[in-house]
Amino acid sequence: MAATISLFFHLILFLISFSQTTIINGDNGFTTSLFHRDSLLSPLEFSSLSHYDRLANAFRRSLSRSAALLNRAATSGAVGLQSSIGPGSGEYLMSVSIGTPPVDYLGIADTGSDLTWAQCLPCLKCYQQLRPIFNPLKSTSFSHVPCNTQTCHAVDDGHCGVQGVCDYSYTYGDRTYSKGDLGFEKITIGSSSVKSVIGCGHASSGGFGFASGVIGLGGGQLSLVSQMSQTSGISRRFSYCLPTLLSHANGKINFGENAVVSGPGVVSTPLISKNTVTYYYITLEAISIGNERHMAFAKQGNVIIDSGTTLTILPKELYDGVVSSLLKVVKAKRVKDPHGSLDLCFDDGINAAASLGIPVITAHFSGGANVNLLPINTFRKVADNVNCLTLKAASPTTEFGIIGNLAQANFLIGYDLEAKRLSFKPTVCA
């Protein structure tokens, strides 16, 4: 009975959140809401897990995702749909509509993949999702991608299916997958619509919660951002503002002209092109704490900024320097993370992290972009009286790092794919 009441309560909150979703549309841009999968607004988690348990789960997902992402970045895998990252580990959800007439679609917003796909009828194998499964036969705007086209050849496993239709198979490192055919379809956000390539998945494994599929926000030609430019003339820009983790507040995501990040406090750094075009690489030159500055491995594009990874992962030598500086500044007793995910934790008694004297940590990116990370970006209370650093060391053989979404919270972060620039602006995102 209690579980039924909890399920009903979360569904009501979720429906209210959709009724209050912010959608701002202009001639060449639009804005809508993002929400964390573990917030009260999310339909993906109906359990009665505690706040600390939800944090621990997010950290475990983050470690799994970061290991796969760094492995692929290090090997510079071929461009295409084969991915070593399971987007089910993604952290933020986005609501759009697909087709004509429009059908509500709840997708995992993923900067670590390109293809936007949805479960489609007829279903050979489908997992349970919250919204009705999309039926392309009932959409007047859906058309198949022929197999003898450049679009079909853009996917690793694109091949000819029945009647010359392009079939795809998108397999992830966690063995989840989507298999089906590629199509062109209308995606609607508010009153604005764009034409995009989508995967129509007729066979999909679990691992995606109750989401309808994945919204690919990577840098490749099949991502939603690139498709907007190719089919609708909307500039290849997007930006987002993420509230602090589990704050139970909506963030926002902007596209086109709405995605411009400007004004006082903005700093920018170049986006670096690599063989794996899906990921967004930037160059971290150093990290400073007080008067101590720790230099990063001098390699262009040595970190990936990713919305779906919670923790920030640093090359081991750089991480060790950060820990050394923190141990000089924070005088509290060192304790262990009861969940075993994080390495540097302190006993904060009954006090907040601020009372520990946690300093501002400054990340120095190329181009003079100095980003001040507050304690809310770098530490998290993981249990009663236990506050832990939310930075982790990569394996000793890994030269890359990841800027995770905790470090991105309360910044408006802009991806300008045309100017090849990433911008940060301190902002209250909730």
383 φ, ψ to 5°? -165, 170
What is the C-alpha to C-alpha distance for residues 306 and 346, in angstroms, rounded to an integer?
A: 27
Mean pLDDT over 372-392 rounds to 95
Which position among 306, 337, 348, 416 bears the catalytic label?
306
**What's 63's DSSP letter?**
H
Rounded to 10 degrees, what is the CA torsion of 81, 84, 87, 89? 180
53: annotated active-site residue: no
What is the C-alpha to C-alpha distance for residues 86 and 83, in angstroms, rounded to an integer?
A: 8
Q: What are 209-247's pLDDT values in tens digits?
A: 778 899 999 999 999 999 998 877 889 999 999 987 766
**Cis amide leading into 132 (omega within 30):** no
pLDDT at 11: 42
274 exposure class (CB count in 10 Å sphere: 0-12, 13-18, 19+): middle
What is the C-alpha to C-alpha distance for residues 336 and 346, in angstroms, rounded to an integer?
A: 8
110: annotated active-site residue: yes
pLDDT at 176: 78
What order of strands is seen across the sheet that includes strand 292-295? Answer: 292-295, 284-289, 361-365, 369-373
Distance of CA 221 to the CA centre of its chain: 18
pTM (two decimals):
0.89
Q: Is the pLDDT of residue 82 over 60?
A: no
Question: Of 204-218, 249-263, 409-423, which gets the smallest average pLDDT?
Answer: 204-218
Q: What are 33-52's pLDDT values in tens digits?
A: 888 877 766 655 545 778 88
Mean pLDDT over 325-352 rounds to 90
